Structure 1
């Protein structure tokens, strides 16, 4: 589910992290300073996603093969050439978000309130979703982990996107788009109907399982 079947061909560029950071300033308006997304999944988490998955989605937006009105204004051949796609994709893929804050003593003489604030901005945990977690784990391990990685943390080798740590509401929106062909699951097999093989209850349970992987 939500998997890229064919590995994307990586291109070689000299990585410019400063350029990646600069481009991310534009992305952060919707996706957050650290790619954490927001508004309960209206804007998805993009931090820590596989580099080639991010790059491929940007190419799809650029080529108007994946429709998103918010992205149209910012992505075209002139505004986002391949070198920029590589820089921002790598920049985002290397961001690590914590799932919980470490306990600290705020009264300690060396307590740094600003550092704590920055740490909190890079901390993200998805609320537990309704569903049968044990059943969802079984289905996931049987049907999904080969593309999306162990416990849903993505497959960097095959550019399979991370599903754990992603907003559940966002995942449901993608299911709807994939089922109605508003979004193509696999560009090499555009008629693929993989998501239709899962019942809503199957997906509810899978998403319940994924929602506790960051606990």
Structure 2
């Protein structure tokens, strides 16, 4: 039953991946991004729109104190969609209450340019564990010890890892990796990178999906899943994902070099 539930989730995720870009391409022609313009907006702002790095950090890694997400290395098309959703009020900024106004202040080309720029902010390194090399991020997500010392409740990493890898079939919860890839490293173009994301942001967004405060997910996939997650589940998931390495032991290939698959088998 566990295997069949996970495989079914993989099939649904793959089907959505195939269909979504086809329908998107039928409506909007491809527009090339200007990374230089994106960098300028990110670092300097544009008009009344402040510099993105004023909230998301100079390296785009986000801020747990502000509740802002990591943008560095995120899938470009996913960021474009989020900015478009903020600009059209399909998504509401319930954290800083500024993203709707900021997104409206940028043109469609500007939004695409910023998305393209932050997607290039990647910083990987190789570490050796038990005699095997592994690709990890030089700058990971949140400092959990620091958060805990400041009174933030932290979950149990191994329980979060279990849901990411296998889901909870007895509760109808699919494995996160069936859509988001190994350790949440993201699947281009619609499933975002959640591995390495800020702890606070993961917690807040899962609760927003669960409570109906965020509804801009394709086919309501995240809303359906989040409604089945307890507060404990959410803390456990965020605890594992925020510092999850993008590859398994013995694998030093860049995540974007991998074909779509739920399990890292090579």
The two structures have a TM-score, normalised by structure 1, of: 0.75
Equivalent residues in 2 for 1:21-170, closer than 5 Å: 21-25=39-43, 26-40=51-65, 42-68=67-93, 69-76=97-104, 79-98=105-124, 123-128=139-144, 130-142=154-166, 143-157=175-189, 159-170=190-201
Task: Show the counterpart of 1:198.
Answer: 229
Task: Show the counterpart of 1:108.
Answer: none
> How far apart are the structure 2 equivalents of 1:155 and 1:191?
15
Aligned length: 189
Calculate the aligned-residue CA RMSD, in Å.
Answer: 2.9
Q: Which has the higher contact order (CA 8 A, sep 6+)?
A: 1
Please, which runs of 5 or more residues in structure 1 have no aligned partner? 101-121
> How far apart are the structure 2 equivalents of 1:99 and 1:204?
27
Structure ranking higher in strand proportion: 2
The two structures have a TM-score, normalised by structure 2, of: 0.62
The 1:161/1:151 distance shift into structure 2, 3 A limit, reads same
The 1:184/1:18 distance shift into structure 2, 3 A limit, reads same
Shift of 1:135: 2.8
Task: Show the counterpart of 2:206.
Answer: 175
The 1:200/1:61 distance shift into structure 2, 3 A limit, reads same
> How far apart are the structure 1 equivalents of 2:222 and 2:65?
30
